[in-house]
Structure 1
Amino acid sequence: MRGPRFTAVLGIVLLVGITVLFVTGLLSYAAYNPNLSPVNDQTPDKGILGFYLFSWPTNPYWLYRLNQGVHVTLGITLIPVLLAKLWSVVPRLFTLPPARSLAHALERISLLLLVGGALFQFTTGVLNVQLDYVFPGSFYTLHFYGAWVFFAAFVAHVALKLPTALRNLRRLRAEKAEKPENAEKPEDSDLVTPRPAEPTVSRRGAFGLVGGASLLLFATSVGRNFDGPLRQTALLTPHGGPEPGSGPGGFQINKTAAYAGIDTRETTGDTWQLVVTGRTGDVRLSREDLLRLPLHSAALPIACVEGWSTSDQWWRGVRLRDLAALVGYDDPADVLVESLQRRGAFRRAALRANQVADPRSLLALDVNGEPLTLDHGYPARIIVPAAPGVLNTKWVARMTFGDL
């Protein structure tokens, strides 16, 4: 069963799948643009790896939900294919001598980076999906730079091995019309076990096993991207059980107020004030002041980097562009949003002018006809169409408008 044909088929699947993972991963970083300076800045066109950053669009409003759903679901689905591919090339990993020439040495180095990078990226990705941060440092930094190292090795490996993989696939089709003893010896024949035991499963059976495992993982994770009963099938992704609680606030919460270190005394009407800063100085607004401003509604989901999303919720609040106008910006500008949050990442989040300008972008005060609950960001939170959940800042304390 182990041999170049088995490896070639798995390699073609991974070629397509990992390319999609890399592209959707880069788009995800463009959407929430974490601070990875000095190599990658928070601002488009800055930093060595920031060349592709752009102002993330707000239409369609489900854009990030789709992008991250594909990224996470596909990543989980490809795990059996990756493991089978690594198993199929184990003999090559331990061939001696380790390098027969300079070209062979470069190939072995790229293979080391490829295997190590794949294991690192898939492991950290799965841990992040499960909200299990056991690795040192920030997941965002590790996964971003790890992706570039891995994909560089992946491209080098594909450039070296794709012609061989395609030739082996053509030989596989040609052998159906030939007798085995007359068939041409395939390339990469060192992958074949020299003294194989009696077969216990055919190559077709092995493909069925890998495909079945991938299908099982897909079926038990994809439901988190949809509404209705299908959500309950998402057993392997975070928040796979019933929606929390009931009533207007009965939808998913990523970080509770307790986890974020929110002091409830700071959120009461007597003490909380939103500070809005801009060209004309500071404006301080209580929740009652905000409720007296023109209020608007929008039906938007929350979609998080871990791959889960909520159904559309009805949010009601003050438009961000109206708050910008209060401090001298008739034309919407970038805004830096700061939270009362004390623990966890993204206590500060940057939104671009096009996001502020969208009439559906709100400083939300109510959801589904009731005031926000504390875990959903009371007294006020950001909600922006197509934005990652990390940019929909909860427990907002300050908003600074201007070029960032």
Structure 2
Amino acid sequence: MRALTLPSSPAFWRSPLRGPRFTSLLGMVLLAGIPVVFATGLLSYAAYNPDLAPVNDQTPDKGLLGGYLFAWPTDPHWLYRLTQGVHVTLGITLVPVLLAKLWSVIPKLFAVPPARSLAGALERLSLLALVGGALFVMATGVLNIQLEYLFPGSFYRLHFYGAWVFVAAFLLHVALRLPAAVRALRRGTGGPTDGAGEPHGTIAVGPPPAPSPDPPTTSRRGALWFVGGGSLLLLGTTVGRSFDGPLRATALLAPHGWEEPGSGPGGFQVNKTAASVGVTPDETAADVWRLHLVGPAGTARLSRADLAALPQHTAALPIACVEGWSTSDQQWRGVRLRDLARLAGHGEGPTPDLLVTSLQRSGAFRRAALRANQVDDPRSLLSLEVNGAPLTPDHGFPARVIVPAAPGVLNTKWVSRMEFRDLSRGGGDR
């Protein structure tokens, strides 16, 4: 009968797969992928124009963490489709690698004593923040992709701070571990060790091989193939959400991925239907609905016929959502936002920011703000038609905003009010 052992004992962990080289290989994959996920995540946050008051600022206490923010550009028009598609798809693809990496170092979490040196103490602290941050960011991200908001508070704020905690720990972890990881990859699992199984003069990149391993059921190479296969499976069932045509049918694990969006000019993906956010046909009927246009000239009430009588323009733009799905370019037709700004009384001076209000009664971004550079782009429209036909109710009838390179939620549907004014920090009501 096997003697009782505790997790703090190396004998408790009997898998023959664990070892510095196995951990190092997984770590190198994460070292290549995580910076890309983090950078595209920051770009996604910038795309929301979080410094615009009073509605887009989801993290008012971000301080220096928001020092990189800039006016999100409108060129190229597919920019957000690319950056958010990479962010979500690569993040999901790395989940098996991250979980395998955490599994490979579990024995280190129970090591006694926790630290043998100052460097070891820093490593343990970084590991605590690294593991906790990784699991939290992964959980909130996956839940958001699946349209499940189980955590209290704003997803944007939680994911933003969680990502910074994780990346700070990740950078410290890399600084402490990278030299040892490179050495482990070069020499395999061999080399002299001290009494605790640590390579002499280094901080271990993973636990040493089990002293009394169980019989292997697969090789380390087989385990790596298993992890890689899991990542490829997630890639293959996720990446199709960023494309149209037959490839979209492969997005089996993604909301708004494989399902049939319908046919006709409006037969492309939507995030929320009119019914799901409380928009009824009665309030969007042509004889009832009016657009409240607000600016220095006062407030004008325009019907859909009034808007259709204004100069109409066409722009080929995609819809790209924070959940990672997107459409190909659709042909939108309507009134330029900058023409509406002039109509609201802003004359030939600098183009103002824009605060848009929707008829929707539930969901995030019932009100959304756009920067002046977005308003001024000639492709930015208050669209009345798409692909040669009037907007469908689920695509925002009677009118919706469409802006190049902007996240889908800033392309407000069922527009009821447009207010042109300065919305920069300090320039808008709080």
Q: Displacement of 1:197 after TM fit? A: 1.5
What residue number does 1:351 align with? 370
What residue number does 2:314 align with? 297
Q: Displacement of 1:76 after TM fit? A: 0.8
What residue number does 1:150 align with? 166
What residue number does 2:404 align with? 385
In the TM superposition, 1:130-209 aligns within 5 A as 130-172=146-188, 184-185=192-193, 187=199, 188=204, 190-209=207-226
In the TM superposition, 1:68-147 aligns within 5 A as 68-147=84-163
Q: Displacement of 1:210 after TM fit? A: 1.0
Residues of 1 paired with 2:66 and 2:217: CA distance?
51
For structure 1, which runs of at least 5 residues remain unmatched after alignment? 41-46
Q: Displacement of 1:132 after TM fit? A: 1.8
Report if aligned partners of 2:380, 2:404 keep a CA contact under 8 Å in 1.
yes
Identity value in percent: 70
Match status 1:60 vs 2:76:
yes
Report if aligned partners of 2:59, 2:157 keep a CA contact under 8 Å in 1.
no
Q: Displacement of 1:105 after TM fit? A: 2.8
Task: State the AA in 2 paired with 1:372.
Answer: L
Question: Residues 83-114 of structure 1: CA distance to partner in whole angstroms, max 9, x if unpaired?
Answer: 11011001101111223344433321221111
What residue number does 2:7 align with? none
The more displaced of 100-109 and 349-358 is: 100-109
Q: Displacement of 1:184 after TM fit? A: 4.7
Match status 1:249 vs 2:255:
no
Residues of 2 paired with 1:49 and 1:278: CA distance?
34
Q: 1:328 aligns with which of 338, 345, 356?
A: 345
Task: State the AA in 1 paired with 2:184.
Answer: N
Q: Displacement of 1:167 after TM fit? A: 1.4
Report if aligned partners of 1:39, 1:49 keep a CA contact under 8 Å in 2.
no
Q: 2:58 aligns with which of 11, 26, 36?
A: 36
Report if aligned partners of 1:133, 1:139 keep a CA contact under 8 Å in 2.
yes
The more displaced of 98-107 and 349-358 is: 98-107
Report if aligned partners of 1:88, 1:191 keep a CA contact under 8 Å in 2.
no
Match status 1:233 vs 2:227:
no
What residue number does 1:44 align with? none
What residue number does 2:233 align with? 216
Question: Residues 216-258 of structure 1: CA distance to partner in whole angstroms, max 9, x if unpaired?
Answer: 1111111111121111111111122233221111111101112
Question: Residues 322-381 of structure 1: CA distance to partner in whole angstroms, max 9, x if unpaired?
Answer: 001112222422111111111011011111111111111100011111111111111110
How many residues are paired up? 390
The more displaced of 289-298 and 50-59 is: 50-59
Match status 1:401 vs 2:420:
yes
What residue number does 1:342 align with? 361
TM-score, with structure 1 as normaliser:
0.93
Residues of 1 paired with 2:226 and 2:258: CA distance?
28
Q: Displacement of 1:37 after TM fit? A: 4.0
Report if aligned partners of 2:241, 2:258 keep a CA contact under 8 Å in 1.
no
What residue number does 1:262 align with? 279
Q: The residue matched to 2:396 in structure 1 has which SS?
A: coil
Q: Displacement of 1:144 after TM fit? A: 0.9
Report if aligned partners of 1:113, 1:153 keep a CA contact under 8 Å in 2.
yes
Q: The residue matched to 1:327 in structure 2 has which SS?
A: helix
Q: 1:17 aligns with which of 33, 38, 43?
A: 33
What residue number does 2:427 align with? none
Residues of 2 paired with 1:36 and 1:368: CA distance?
34
Match status 1:312 vs 2:329:
yes
Q: The residue matched to 1:335 in structure 2 has which SS?
A: strand
Report if aligned partners of 1:92, 1:191 keep a CA contact under 8 Å in 2.
no
Q: Displacement of 1:205 after TM fit? A: 1.3
Residues of 2 paired with 1:250 and 1:22: CA distance?
33
TM-score, with structure 2 as normaliser:
0.87
Report if aligned partners of 2:59, 2:156 keep a CA contact under 8 Å in 1.
no
Report if aligned partners of 1:91, 1:191 keep a CA contact under 8 Å in 2.
no
Residues of 2 paired with 1:241 and 1:222: CA distance?
11
The more displaced of 67-76 and 103-112 is: 103-112
Q: Displacement of 1:213 after TM fit? A: 1.2
Q: 2:394 aligns with which of 363, 368, 375?
A: 375
For structure 2, which runs of at least 5 residues remain unmatched after alignment? 1-16, 51-55, 424-430
Q: Displacement of 1:53 after TM fit? A: 1.0
Report if aligned partners of 1:319, 1:361 keep a CA contact under 8 Å in 2.
yes
Task: State the AA in 1 paired with 2:70.
Answer: F
Q: The residue matched to 2:100 in structure 1 has which SS?
A: helix
